[in-house]
Every structure is written in structure tokens, then in C-alpha cells.
Amino acid sequence: MSLIRHHIGGVESGAAERSGPVFDPATGQSHRRVAFASPVEVDDAVRAAKAALPAWRATGLIKRADVFFRLRQLLVERQDELAQIITSEHGKVLSDAKGEISRGIENVEFAAGLAHLLKSEHSEQVARGVDVHSVKQPVGVVAAVTPFNFPVMVPLWMTATAIACGNTVILKPSEKTPSAAIFLARLYEEAGLPPGVLNVVHGDRVAVDTLLESPDVRAISFVGSTPVARDLYQRAAAKGKRVQALGGAKNHMVVMPDAEIAQAADAAVSAAYGSAGERCMAVSVLVAVGAQTADDLVAAIAERVAVLQIGPGTDAASDMGPLITAEHRDRVAGYVTGAEAEGATVVIDGTTEQFDGDGFFLGASLIDHVRPGTKVYDDEIFGPVLAVVRVESYDEAVALVNASPYANGTALFTRDGATARNFEFDIEVGMVGVNVAIPVPVGSYSFGGWRNSLFGDTHIYGPESINFYTRSKVVTSRWPDRSPSAVSLGFPSNH
């Protein structure tokens, strides 16, 4: 059985003292293992990143940009191979895997504009003979801890901007989907990135804890569940590190009575069940305004769910693949089987669907008459389960969304411009879609939620990430001239 090793200083390394299985979720079989880094191996990666930092920081901006132009081309050329890697370890269908790669490429394209993005400000003659300018300088060695569900996109969201800004990086991918990170590290170096600028260590909490404790790691980016994000933020911030920790979500899609029902139903099915619901931007709660709206939507969604093809991600006929592990599949199924006891109506029970083989498959479920205070509503299920909540008015829908402890993304479906504008103003959520069910911003904007969906002040990728991965330095200068000088002990004044 092959072992997936770490990538440190441009060299693959790693003993098998501790390791874990890597499954193909479509078959339920493990054909590979991944090495779990010891504290010593993590420290080796930190030292490699620290050693590579001075030369990379001093590399000219145009030369840095060349790396990203070449990396983009390599990602396009190798996307089929990379998509196969994603599907073999995550299970998502190949079209979804290619979509993930394309969204990662967006941030590579953004990072390629680093010569513009790192420009600062200059003020001439703020006082007689005095100029002031600011510069953006790299933070130093940074860590990126990424989730299983987007093993290419999220690492590219973090590493591209961090490296473009002149930092060096230790990437710790999910131990469930580790191979894509190694593939990306090789592509970076094939594109011209010097060894040690991007290092990959695999593992569990031991690796993350070592990164948090290391005084040489100056910043950390994280995407995962809310409890882990909160804990990581608190511990890293206590060590004086910069932190952006993106947590969980419970995304609501509000449908007004004037919405086009077929369009809303198509969007809800796509956003709820794509990637088997294992997306932090998945729609997990459909908020139907008005009884007739709810009845029509539930019927339309049920028709579409009934014809979904669930199977291996490599099968072109599959609309939805398996979940990541057997344990997670069973956890998700538990929410469906317990819904009626909490007063909900199970319209479609995906737990009863039968599948051949030992893959981690689960059918899509639709649950109506769900209420806040129940597990189906309150918890981030992270699976193919769509809950329908019925409300009587726009105001009730907005209050429901704003009361959620999560505030990652939300969407409104309507044909009325005034309602859409009011929703944009009223809603207290980080990312909002109007007739767009999954409002993930394009690469030139930034991604992130509010409340328990984000810990830290900075969103991921895009313009905000430039601020996260750089420190601003302000320089005030006066060059000697022939004017007379004198000692003054007063506080300097610009007059």
C-alpha cells in the first residue's frame, strides 16, 4: 500500500511511524495511507520555510508574477488529472471537481496581478521638505489549514495570495484528501517557485498544534467547522499570530411568492445536493414565504430529487457522489431518521435508498415543516439534506436568517427589485445572492461570513487577503538641504 508523504524544502519525506488510511468514498476501500507529521517534521517544514523567506521576499515582483502566469497554464493543462485526484479521494463528480479547480484558478489569476496589488501610497511635501510613503511587506512564515471538501480550491485561495505577497507557506491539508496538495506543490515548483517557499505536511491535530505553538509561524488561515475555528482562533491569537478562521454555515435561501418557481426549484436542488451537500456554501434551509409558495416549491423540488442519479463521481451519468466517510454518512442519516420525532415531515427519505457495493452513498432527503430549535434546523448537517421552513412574510424571513448563529451565505429569489434591494440592506450575512443560490464571490472580491462563520477580521482571498498577508510600514523622510537646523524637544508638528 503506497504512502503519501510530506513535501518539505522541495523534497518528499516522511516516516510511517503514524499514518492514516485514505479512502475512495465510491468504493469504501483504502488503497493508500498518508503519513501523519510528528512535531519534528512540522518543525522541519517551518525551518525550510524560514530559510526560503529572505530570498523569496527579495525576489522582484515581476519575477514572482511569472510564477503565477506559468502556474495558471499548468493548472489548465493538468486539470483532468487533478480532477481525477479530487474525485478519487473526495468522491464528488468530475464536473464538480473541475468547477472547483476553475474557482481556484481565479485566485491564481488575481495573484498574478501582484505588481499592482502591492502598490502603496505616497504623499509629497506633507511638511516643508518632508515626504511620507507606505509599503506592504510580507508577514513571514504563514500556515494554511484546509478542509477535505475543496482540496484544490481552498489551498489555492490561501497559498496563491500568501506567496504572491512574499511569504513562505506550510500547507496542512485534510488527511482525508491529501494527494491534491502534493500535486499542487509540484506544479508550483514546475512553474518556477523555489523549494521551501511552499511546504506540505500531512496529519492530524498534532501537526496543527505544532504550527500554532511555533513562534516562527506568524499567521494562520483555516477553513473548517465552527468549534475548531473558534478554538484555533483563540489559541493562535493568544500567541500573537494573525488569524483568519472560517467556520461552519447554515445557509438560507428565501423564496418570495413572486419568484419563478421552476427557477427557484432548480437552484435549490443544485445548491443543496451538489457535492452531496458537503459545501460550506450549500443551501441547507429553504425559507418559503407563504403557504402556496411552500407547497409549490416542495412539489417541484421533490420531482427533481426523484430523478437525481447517485453514483461514483467518475461516472458521467452521476449527478451526486458519495459522502466522505461511512461515519459521516451515518451521522447525516441520523438527522433524517430523527426529523419526524421533532415535528417535521420527511417528504423524501434518502436513507432508504439502496446502493451496490461498500461506498459511502446516501440518497438526497427533503424535509418540510422544519422549525428553529430542532436539530435539522440548528445543526450544520453537511450532507444532502434540505430543510424547508414556512414563514408568512418577508419580515419574518429576514428575522429568521438574522437570528441564526451562522452568517456565511444567503440568497433571495424574487422578481421584485425593491424587495431585492431591501434584502441586501436588511440581511446580516457576509455573502448575499439575488437569484443566485451559491453567492461565492469572484476572485477579485473576498470570501467570508459573519458571526460564527468567521473568527478574525479578514475574509479569505481577494483584496482582503492582501491586507492579511502583508504588514504596512510607513516611512517619513526628510533629506538635508541648506536650511538652518536647530534642536527642538517639542513633539514633531507638520506645520
Question: What are the tens digits of pLDDT across the range 419-441?
Answer: 999 999 999 999 999 999 999 98
| Domains of the chain, earliest start first | 2-247+453-475 (3.40.605.10), 251-434 (3.40.309.10)
pLDDT above 90 (res 493): no
What pLDDT is recorded for position 495? 54
Q: Which amino acid makes up residue 402? A: N
Query: Which residue is listed with cell 501582484?
Result: 114
Q: Are 353 and 363 in contact (CB under 8 A)?
A: yes
Band of the pLDDT at 447, cuts 50, 70, 90?
confident
Return the percentage of the chain with pLDDT > 70, whole number: 99
Q: Give Cα separations from 292 to 57, 207, 256, 301 (angstroms).
A: 60, 52, 10, 14
pLDDT above 70 (res 383): yes
Question: Average of pLDDT values for 183-206?
Answer: 97
The number of C-alpha atoms within 13 Å of 108 and in the hemisphere containing its C-beta is 26
Mean pLDDT of the chain: 95
Distance CA(409)–CA(440), nearest Å, equals 8
What pLDDT is recorded for position 494? 58
Tell me the pLDDT tens digit for each residue of 285-324. 999 999 999 999 999 999 999 999 999 999 999 999 999 9
The catalytic residue among 280, 344, 386, 429 is 280
Q: What is the DSSP letter of 460?
A: B
Q: 394-403 and 417-426 helices cross at what angle (nearest 10)?
A: 30
Distance CA(320)–CA(283), nearest Å, equals 15
Q: Are 293 and 463 in contact (CB under 8 A)?
A: no
Question: Average of pLDDT values for 111-125?
Answer: 94
Return the percentage of the chain with pLDDT > 90, whole number: 91
The answer to whether residue 165 is catalytic is no
Q: Which amino acid makes up residue 183? A: F
Nearest alpha-carbon partner for 244 in 270, 259, 224: 224
pLDDT above 60 (res 100): yes
What pLDDT is recorded for position 221? 97
Comparing 97-106, 200-209, 251-260, 445-454, which segment has the lowest mean pLDDT? Answer: 445-454
Nearest alpha-carbon partner for 173 in 362, 6, 402, 377: 6
Question: Average of pLDDT values for 337-342?
Answer: 96
Q: Are 142 and 168 in contact (CB under 8 A)?
A: yes
Q: Are 419 and 289 in contact (CB under 8 A)?
A: no
Question: Average of pLDDT values for 126-155?
Answer: 95
DSSP H helices in 21-111: 39-58, 61-77, 79-90, 94-111
